């Protein structure tokens, strides 16, 4: 449905076409996109995958959402700024409490007032629901694009799990997983969209019934015609995995990065981390007799282990010849992968870097904590969702809203107009993709080794850059650092977090409380808060959000813990906390002491009957002591009972020869040494 309306966005009236979309969030049974396993997923309107969204940049998008799940949910439009309407960001615990089961909410996405275009995606930002399928591509299409092409398709990449997210998360954040080994996906999936529909499976395919309308992996194909130029919008919607993408027999030219149009840049292979988007131009071949392979390979270096059952490489195709007998050229996997250097891209819309006024240094680590689980941390602090969404604290605390302590750990208050450098240091061995809400950032510089004094490995940031690359999701390899600069000109509360869902769930995030005074000025009506005070300025949609907080048993006013105080956070459970050096030493000694138990096959047997952890260790220790005592008793008894024999009389079956006065004795130990060193 389309209509023409005047909407008040901030203080500017915008004449816009309105695109209404109705989504009923539902469970869908027996989805099987990879052809390997049927499972329950979260879909829309009883179908999966959720439909692609395609919006003209002159329009306002209104997404009418009904939550028919049995848990609260949200929808976040990844990469959209929501300047002037930060409460529409759709982040559970930061901008809202969530849509309760059975309730509805309208997300207003002011595309026409945003100045944004390009490739984005929408996904749940609640309890990892997008891992279970609640995710879809979003295209904001200009009436006149900056690059010329004949036709466009969207390429959706994702990793796929056979178990549901809550099951995987419980296993991940668990004392039985102190090393923080992330769940490895069961496969990769790739599928294609054009406009508001997905492309169906290629001729001759026999897909699973529930997902039969969409072509996945080897059943997915892009129809090309000789002489045409195609724009491919590539979106990585994974929970964990980075992809390497390329097309056999075709060249690619990058023209867009995370919604930022860039000068054409040729690439053979595009590396694309979770949450990132690229657009590439591809010229069709002149010969239409042969079809060609499209490669979407997950990076196995992301995983602590690779199961034998996992094939990280999936192949779709470009179809010129639609005959089922047409040959397809597949050159196979590449011998080596190279990360895409996103700093080298040149934005078409030139913006010089402003002078920095505030620097926030963030060093990320993943480590075992005081409760025995493994967590993600910035500066040794793991993120805890506040009881009151941070945006609601910002809007209801009045003059106390500028106090950083009111928002709790992992919070940073920014003044309007601050030019902020986020210096993100990856202290982990693995790579991480980091995403900011409400902004693009400038990539000001990278360090190959942020601990080094070598200016080649750790160069100083170059100031006064004329046109640094901008995007909203950046990939940081292990041991490296990146300096990200943005201007605090979007009042609200915004997330900065690792977009590997397992790491976000384990606390690898901060919240940026931006321009509290200006945020409060955005509001236009009054609301009496739970503290009995009149909070000037809750917009109608915020009133509905506040009602949903109440329905879910959550506070919606005051500081992070629901108190009208700068410092009183009582009632809000924080932690866990990192171990100090002495605790780490004791923990390491304990691990060494019990290492032989962990590797003994009997321990595995005990685990199979769910006799876990310390119980197993105590049982085995007791068994060991009893067995050792019994052997000592038998040896002592044998020494006193076995008659003396000379060496000639002793046979091969003599295990122990008792030692008489002035004699020696020998033992014959049969079997192998079972001890192992830690590899």
Backbone dihedral region for residue 623 (phi beyond 0: left; psi -120 to 50: alpha; all else: beta): alpha
CA torsion sign for 160, 165, 167, 171 is positive
Helices 613-641/601-608 angle, 10° precision: 130
Percent of the chain's residues with pLDDT above 90: 78
Does residue 610 have a pLDDT over 50?
A: no
Q: Where are the beta strands (DSSP E) in 529-585?
A: 534-536
Would you state the pLDDT for residue 206? 85
Across the range 558-586, mean pLDDT stands at 91
Q: What is the pLDDT of residues 286-315, one digit of tens each?
A: 999 999 999 999 999 999 999 999 999 999
Average pLDDT over residues 113-123: 97
- Provide the pLDDT for residue 271: 98
Determine the pLDDT at residue 203.
85
Q: What is the pLDDT of residue 538?
A: 61
Range from 126-135, 146-155, 203-212, 465-474 carrying the lowest mean pLDDT: 203-212
For position 204, what pLDDT does the model report?
Answer: 82
- What pLDDT score was predicted for residue 325? 85
Q: What is the mean pLDDT of the chain?
A: 87
Pairing of strands 358-368, 419-426: parallel
Asked whether the predicted pLDDT for residue 37 surpasses 80, the reply is yes
pLDDT above 80 for 652: no
Mean of pLDDT values over 455-483: 98
Average pLDDT, stretch 263-268? Answer: 97
Stretch 18-37: mean pLDDT, rounded? Answer: 97
Confidence of residue 617 (pLDDT cuts 50, 70, 90): low
pLDDT digits (tens, 9 = 90+) for 520-561: 998 754 444 444 444 444 678 999 999 999 999 999 999 999
Residue 586: the pLDDT is 67
Say if residue 629's pLDDT is above 90.
no
Average pLDDT over residues 490-501: 98
Name which of 497, 521, 500 is nearest 511 in CA terms: 497
pLDDT over threshold 70, residue 436: yes
pLDDT at site 625: 64
- Residue 637 scores a pLDDT above 60: no
Cα–Cα distance measured from residue 256 to residue 275, given in angstroms and rounded to the nearest whole number: 14
**pLDDT tier for residue 654 given thresholds of 50, 70 and 90:** very low
pLDDT, tens only, 99-113: 999 999 999 999 999
- Nearest-angstrom CA–CA distance, 294 and 332: 10
Statement: residue 11 has pLDDT above 90: no
What lies within 8 Å, CB to CB, of 342 at 6+ separation is: 257, 443, 469, 471, 474, 475
pLDDT-based confidence at residue 664 (cuts at 50, 70, 90): very low
Which region among 12-21, 550-559, 565-574, 635-644 has the lowest average model confidence (pLDDT)? 635-644
Is a pLDDT exceeding 60 seen at residue 592? no
> Looking at 432-491, which runs of residues are DSSP E strands?
432-436, 441-447, 470-471, 473-476, 481-487
> Which of 404, 362, 410, 359 has its CA nearest to residue 577?
410
Predicted confidence at residue 635, as pLDDT, reads: 55
pLDDT at position 183 over 90? yes
pLDDT digits (tens, 9 = 90+) for 352-407: 999 999 999 999 999 999 999 999 999 999 999 999 999 999 999 999 999 999 99
pLDDT of 631 above 80: no
Q: Residue 631: left if φ>0, alpha if ψ -120 to 50, beta else—which one?
A: alpha
Above 80 in pLDDT, residue 221? yes
Question: Position of tokens 């796929």?
Answer: 160
Among the residue ranges 339-353, 416-430, 585-599, the one predicted with the least confidence is 585-599
Secondary structure of residue 136 in the 3-state scheme: strand
Angle (CA) 261 265 268, round 5°: 125
């Amino acid at each position: 449905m389309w209509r023409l309306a005047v909407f008040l966005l901030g203080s500017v009236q915008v004449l816009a076409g309105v695109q209404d979309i109705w989504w009923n969030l539902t469970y869908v049974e027996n989805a099987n996109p990879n052809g390997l396993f049927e499972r329950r997923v979260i879909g829309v309107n009883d179908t999966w995958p959720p439909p692609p969204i395609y919006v003209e940049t002159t329009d306002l998008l209104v997404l009418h959402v009904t939550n028919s799940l049995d848990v609260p949910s949200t929808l976040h439009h990844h990469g959209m700024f929501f300047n002037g309407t930060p409460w529409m960001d759709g982040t559970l615990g930061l901008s809202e409490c969530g849509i309760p089961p059975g309730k509805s909410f309208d997300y207003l996405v002011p595309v026409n007032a945003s100045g944004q275009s390009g490739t984005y995606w929408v996904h749940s930002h609640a309890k990892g629901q997008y891992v279970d399928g609640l995710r879809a591509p979003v295209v904001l299409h200009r009436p006149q694009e900056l690059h010329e092409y004949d036709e466009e398709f969207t390429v959706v990449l994702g990793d796929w799990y056979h178990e549901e997210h809550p099951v995987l998360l419980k296993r991940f954040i668990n004392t039985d997983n102190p090393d923080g080994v992330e769940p490895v996906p069961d496969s990769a999936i790739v599928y294609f969209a054009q406009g508001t529909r997905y492309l169906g499976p290629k001729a001759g395919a026999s897909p699973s019934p529930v997902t039969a309308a969409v072509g996945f992996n080897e059943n997915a194909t892009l129809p090309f015609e000789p002489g045409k130029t195609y724009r491919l919008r590539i979106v990585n919607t994974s929970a964990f995995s980075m992809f390497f993408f390329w097309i056999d027999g075709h060249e690619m030219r990058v023209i867009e990065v995370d919604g930022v149009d860039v000068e054409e840049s040729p690439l053979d292979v595009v590396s694309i981390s979770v949450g990132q988007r690229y657009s590439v131009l591809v010229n069709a071949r002149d010969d239409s007799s042969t079809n060609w392979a499209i490669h979407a390979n997950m990076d196995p270096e992301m995983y602590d282990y690779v199961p034998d059952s996992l094939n990280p490489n999936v192949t779709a195709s470009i179809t010129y010849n639609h005959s089922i007998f047409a040959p397809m050229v597949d050159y196979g996997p590449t011998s080596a992968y190279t990360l895409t250097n996103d700093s080298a891209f040149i934005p078409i819309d030139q913006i010089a870097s402003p002078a920095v006024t505030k620097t926030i240094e963030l060093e990320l680590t993943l480590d075992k904590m005081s409760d025995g689980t493994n967590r993600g941390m910035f500066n040794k602090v793991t993120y805890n969702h506040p009881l009151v969404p941070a945006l609601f604290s910002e809007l209801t605390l009045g003059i106390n809203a500028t106090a950083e302590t009111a928002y709790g750990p992992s919070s940073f208050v920014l003044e309007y107009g601050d030019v902020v450098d986020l210096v993100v240091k990856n202290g982990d061995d693995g790579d991480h993709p980091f995403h900011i809400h409400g902004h693009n950032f400038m990539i000001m510089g990278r360090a190959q080794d942020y601990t080094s004094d070598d200016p080649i490995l750790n160069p100083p940031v170059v100031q006064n850059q004329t046109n640094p690359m901008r995007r909203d999701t950046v990939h940081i390899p292990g041991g490296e650092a990146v300096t990200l600069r943005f201007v605090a000109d979007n009042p609200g509360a915004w997330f900065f977090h690792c977009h590997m869902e397992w790491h976000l769930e384990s606390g690898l995030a901060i919240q940026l409380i931006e321009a509290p005074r200006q945020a409060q000025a955005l509001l236009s009506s009054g609301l009496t808060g739970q503290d009995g005070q009149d909070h000037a300025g809750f917009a109608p949609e915020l009133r509905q959000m506040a009602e949903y907080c109440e329905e879910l048993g959550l506070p919606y006013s005051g500081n992070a813990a629901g108190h009208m105080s700068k410092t009183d956070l009582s009632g809000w459970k924080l932690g866990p906390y990192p171990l100090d050096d002495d605790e780490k030493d004791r923990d390491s000694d304990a691990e060494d002491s019990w290492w032989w138990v962990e590797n003994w096959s009997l321990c595995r047997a005990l685990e199979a009957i769910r006799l876990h952890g310390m119980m197993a260790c105590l049982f085995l220790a007791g068994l060991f002591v009893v067995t050792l005592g019994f052997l000592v008793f038998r040896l002592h008894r044998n020494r006193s009972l076995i008659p003396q024999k000379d060496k000639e009389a002793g046979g091969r079956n003599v295990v122990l020869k008792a030692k008489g006065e002035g004699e020696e004795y020998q033992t014959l130990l049969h079997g192998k040494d079972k001890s192992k060193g830690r590899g």
